[in-house]
Amino acid sequence: MNVYDFTVKAQDGSDVSLSQYRGKTLLIVNTATGCGFTPQYDDLQDLYDEHQKDGLEILDFPCNQFGEQAPGSDEEIHSFCTGRYGITFPQFAKIDVFGENQIPLYKWLEENSKFEGFSGFMGKIVSMAAKKNDKDYKNNSKVKWNFTKFLIDKNGDLVARFEPTTKMSEVKKQVEAIL
């Protein structure tokens, strides 16, 4: 099984097979519009601008499960992201990354990656929030917060996971290494 086996929902509710991204390098991100990490949209767009021509696609999945930081409809979220951050990469319908409504893609991403911990000052803050959601958060692979990123190679295999506190320079370096 790999990423191409999954179907997700577009903003309009239609099904999108991830097999349409076959042969591309993917960075899958669960996002929120009202989070301390929301400015990462600028870095993500810069990365996309620089490497889309090389086969990079960034797949944006808004999620309101962490601190209710992605309120609003899919259309409102998209309008905010395009207007405020100028994003041009694909943005899908709002999802659940955990719980009974977790989408299968995120179940697979969690099962095939591991949590490496948070870093820096923001890491301390996110650790406190993550602990409220999951007392055993350090010992499982569940997504802990907004802007967790998963790097998928051109064969559809998961090759790296980045927590939201990982510096975007490190994400960029690993993306470039597999492009």
Q: What is the 3-state secondary structure (H, E, C) of 6-65?
A: CEEEECCCCEEEHHHHCCCEEEEEEECCCCCCCCHHHHHHHHHHHHHHHCEEEEEEEECC
Cα→Cα distances 19→16, 26, 104, 155, Å: 9, 12, 15, 10
The residue type found at 154 is: K
The CA distance from 99 to 166, in Å, is 25
The CA distance from 162 to 120, in Å, is 14
With tokens 């993500």, the residue in question is 44
Annotated catalytic residues are: 35
Tokens of 57: 């696609």
Q: Is 95 helix (H, G, I), strand (E, B) or coil?
A: strand
Q: Are 92 and 14 in contact (CB under 8 A)?
A: no
